[in-house]
Amino acid sequence: MPRTEASPDTRRTGRMFASILIIACALTLAPASAGADEVSGDYKAAVLIDARTGEVLFAENAHEPLPPASMVKMMTELIVLELVAEGEIGSEDPVTVSAKASTMGGSQVYLKQGEIFTVREMLLALAIHSANDAAVALAEHVAGSVEAFVELMNRRARSLGMHDTEFHFVHGLPPGWRQEADLSSAYDMALLGRELCRHPDALDWAVSDRVPFRDGQFILTNPNPLVGSFRGLEGIKTGFHSQAGYCLAAAATQKGVRLISVVMGASTDANRGLETTRLLARGFDAYTKLTLVTAAGDACPETVSVKGGKRKRAPLAYAGPLVVGVPRDRSADIAFRYDLPERIEAPRPAGEIVGRAVAELDGKAIGAVDLVLADIVEKGGFWDRLFKR
């Protein structure tokens, strides 16, 4: 029987050793152009991207199709969260456990046929504990069957540009007799993780360590070896079975920058944490913080045209501070793009939001702040309206 995600005790032991190795680690990254058959660490494939821009900062075998194991559940979670956000289903909707869901092996919360939990409770079991039975229950609740839900998964993967991916299951367990395996790449998993990070709940759950379930009768435990040991960690998902090895998609934010790393096929739980730490730490070391706007009320060099006012143009101010993370040697290359209406019509109050300042690097947005009217825009008299329209 192929092995899957470890038991809670094994997870805690693995996390302890991972923390020790992480502290002792001082390795270097290979360049993003490393050869397709070369790897510099204990993994079959790895990638590191900037979550804001999608820029690839490091890659080894990043597009090689490999079994992603339970990282598949990122897509299951994403689809359910998107449906909740769109109002198609409710987070408190009841989910009734089917016979099929109750018989899932591997990591599970031991759902029984006929039990009822809310969508949110099932998502917690899925995201924190990597529960295979919860994945099936959610899929059946949303689409009527696992097969129909898998179609949704593959459709969403294509829309995200995940060209190396083909899903066959909602949980990531290894295939049985005459079943096809899930396949994806480190790059595709990074794209998926980047999209999942748009949902605040997903980030909260991904770093939750121990959470009560079934009225406290069961404790959801997080298998991520970096929870509580890496500064700025935001998730995202582990994966393991004997054919896939140890996998980890991680997100972390430091210096105003969110990076996403994916490691696939590590030989141990500790090493997937070690390699992930190495990727993220070296990535963050390449960035520096840059303050573009010091505080709310700072004057903006742009103005906006006014129709029917005492003056033709109104001064603007930044609505708040703006700090961005940029590559250490690129600070001088940041430029502002000002998104403003062609003109506004008087009267308008001071402090009203009228536009947005977008900080860009190489044409890609890396941060933004609202623009507000610095002063009251008063309506002009007859002659003002006549000569300043």
Residues 143 and 23 grouped into a single domain: yes
Average pLDDT over residues 1-25: 45
Q: Which residue has the higher pLDDT, 381 or 96?
A: 96
- By residue range, what is the domain housing residue 329? 291-387
State the pLDDT at residue 386.
52
State the pLDDT at residue 10.
45
Residues 298 and 251 grouped into a single domain: no
Give the Cα separation of 91 and 93 in Å (integer): 6
Q: Is residue 1, in this structure, part of any structural domain at all?
A: no
Residue 230 pLDDT class (50, 70, 90 cuts)? very high
State the pLDDT at residue 380.
76
State the pLDDT at residue 21.
42
State the pLDDT at residue 202.
96
Q: Is residue 2, in this structure, part of any structural domain at all?
A: no
Residues 263 and 125 grouped into a single domain: yes
For the domain that residue 235 is a member of, what is the CATH number? 3.40.710.10
Give the Cα separation of 151 and 219 in Å (integer): 32
Q: Judge whether residue 6 has pLDDT over 60.
A: no
Q: Judge whether residue 13 has pLDDT over 60.
A: no
Final residue belonging to a domain, choices 245, 261, 285: 285
Size of the chain, expressed as the number of residues it contains = 389
* R_g of the chain, CA atoms, integer Å: 25
Final residue belonging to a domain, choices 285, 302, 320: 285
Residues 223 and 335 grouped into a single domain: no
Final residue belonging to a domain, choices 285, 312, 330: 285
Residues 33 and 111 grouped into a single domain: yes
Residue 226 pLDDT class (50, 70, 90 cuts)? very high
Residue 385 pLDDT class (50, 70, 90 cuts)? low
Identify the CA nearest to 242 among candidates 3, 1, 6. 3
Quote the tokens at residue 311: 């003056």
Task: Give Cα 226 distance to the centre of its chain.
Answer: 16
Residue 53 pLDDT class (50, 70, 90 cuts)? confident
Q: Indicate the pairing of strand 45-50 with strand 257-266.
A: antiparallel
Q: Is residue 341, in this structure, part of any structural domain at all?
A: yes
Q: What is the share, in percent, of the chain residues with pLDDT greater than 90?
A: 78
Tens of pLDDT, residue by residue over 99-132, are: 999 999 899 999 999 999 999 999 999 999 999 9
Residue 242 vs residues 36, 106, 108: alpha-carbon distances, Å: 23, 12, 17
Tens of pLDDT, residue by residue over 132-169, are: 999 999 999 999 999 999 999 999 999 999 999 999 99
What domain count does the chain have? 2
Identify the CA nearest to 125 among candidates 199, 11, 205. 205
Residues 187 and 245 grouped into a single domain: yes
Q: Is residue 372, in this structure, part of any structural domain at all?
A: yes
Give the Cα separation of 46 and 249 in Å (integer): 10
Q: Which residue has the higher pLDDT, 15 or 6?
A: 15
Tens of pLDDT, residue by residue over 310-348, are: 889 999 999 999 999 898 889 999 999 999 999 999 999
Residues carrying an active site annotation? 70, 73, 130
Tens of pLDDT, residue by residue over 160-203, are: 999 999 999 999 999 988 889 999 999 999 999 999 999 999 99
Q: Is residue 146, in this structure, part of any structural domain at all?
A: yes
Residue 204 pLDDT class (50, 70, 90 cuts)? very high
State the pLDDT at residue 235.
85
State the pLDDT at residue 1.
40
Residues 318 and 272 grouped into a single domain: no
Residues 164 and 264 grouped into a single domain: yes
State the pLDDT at residue 256.
85
- Centre a 10 Å sphere on the Cβ of residue 212 and count the other Cβ atoms it contains: 11
Give the Cα separation of 212 and 209 in Å (integer): 10
State the pLDDT at residue 39.
72
Residues 251 and 315 grouped into a single domain: no
Give the Cα separation of 44 and 65 in Å (integer): 10
Residue 384 pLDDT class (50, 70, 90 cuts)? low
Residues 182 and 327 grouped into a single domain: no
Residues 92 and 232 grouped into a single domain: yes
Q: Judge whether residue 37 has pLDDT over 70.
A: no
Asked whether the beta carbons of 61 and 46 are under 8 A apart, the reply is: yes
Give the Cα separation of 15 and 5 in Å (integer): 13
- Centre a 10 Å sphere on the Cβ of residue 245 and count the other Cβ atoms it contains: 22
State the pLDDT at residue 38.
62
First-to-last C-alpha distance (Å) of the chain: 79
Average pLDDT over residues 246-271: 95
Q: What is the share, in percent, of the chain residues with pLDDT greater than 70?
A: 88
Amino acid identity, position 183: L
115-139 exposure pattern, b = at least 16 Cβ within 10 A, e = fewer? bebebbbbbbbbbbbbbbbbbbbbb
Q: Which residues pair with 233 in a beta bridge?
A: 252
**Whether the model pTM is above 0.85:** no
* Cα 156-56-362 angle, rounded to 5 deg: 105
Residues 146 and 61 grouped into a single domain: yes
What mean pLDDT, rounded, does the chain reach? 89
Give the Cα separation of 193 and 262 in Å (integer): 9
H helical segments located in the chain: 8-24, 73-85, 99-102, 119-129, 132-143, 146-159, 186-196, 200-206, 269-285, 382-387
Q: Judge whether residue 55 has pLDDT over 70.
A: yes
Please spell the DSSP secondary structure of 216-277, one letter per residue.
TTEEEE---TTTTTSTTEEEEEEEEETTTEEEEEEEEEETTEEEEEEEEEESSHHHHHHHHH
Residue 31 pLDDT class (50, 70, 90 cuts)? very low
Q: Which residue has the higher pLDDT, 141 or 27?
A: 141
